[in-house]
Amino acid sequence: MFKKIKRKIVSNIVFMRLSFLVQRLKRKNQSEDIYHIDKIEKILAVKKLFNINILIETGTYLGQTVNYVKNHFSHIFSIELSELLAEEAKRKFKKHKNVEIIKGDSGLALSEILKKVQAKKIFWLDTHYSSGIAAVSDNFGNTPILKELEIIFDNWTNGNIILIDDARLFNGKNDYPTIEFLSDYILKKNLELRFFIDKDIIHII
């Protein structure tokens, strides 16, 4: 009981501090698309709050996230399943030496990155089929999220932060676990982590 109360208090403190930083960043970006900027601001707020300089993204898509944050991290790894999208992202960011675009299935390619990178990291997990030109994994269907988390915890570094986009999709359908299943899974992996949702983003901190 005491551990649950303590975890709740810590989660509330982290949430309030993140919200404060997000509001400060938002005032600088009033003219941008709010839906996407909310996500960018969250990543940058977490980076600042926890002093993390490496970002690992799964699901490059059109490269909007990388484009916004490329000057804020010492190194960015972004994994994209679609060959077309991966090649376009490589072309787009070829002049940015701190950005590495990896063509592959994140449920498989992520482990190779983590073997090389020992420092604490922010994980921005956003791999899922979203229709159109997005790709579907032959190995994991619409989303490899559980495999991604398994790999992350098998190669865990203290200080890691995990952010998972599109919390609304975690309803037990289309290869997504439910929020309840995911929360239980995370807490069983590490009882010291906090799990909460804000602005459609799952936070594992």
Instruction: Specify burial of residue 122 (Cβ count, 10 A radius: 0-12, 13-18, 19+).
Output: buried
State residue 21's pLDDT score. 52
pLDDT in tens, the chain (205 residues): 555 555 555 555 555 665 555 455 445 444 445 557 889 999 999 999 999 999 999 999 889 999 999 999 999 999 999 889 999 999 999 999 999 999 999 989 999 999 999 999 999 999 765 544 555 556 666 789 999 999 999 999 999 999 999 999 999 998 899 999 999 999 999 889 999 999 899 999 9
Name the CATH topology of 2-204.
Rossmann fold (3.40.50)
State residue 136's pLDDT score. 58
Q: Where are the domains of the chain?
A: 2-204
Q: Beta strands 201-204 and 195-198: pairing type?
A: antiparallel
Residue 28 CB contacts under 8 Å (≥ 6 apart), including other chains: none
Residue 33 CB contacts under 8 Å (≥ 6 apart), including other chains: none
The phi, psi pair for 62, rounded to 5°, reads: -90, 0
Q: d(Cα 152, Cα 147) in Å, to the nearest integer? A: 9
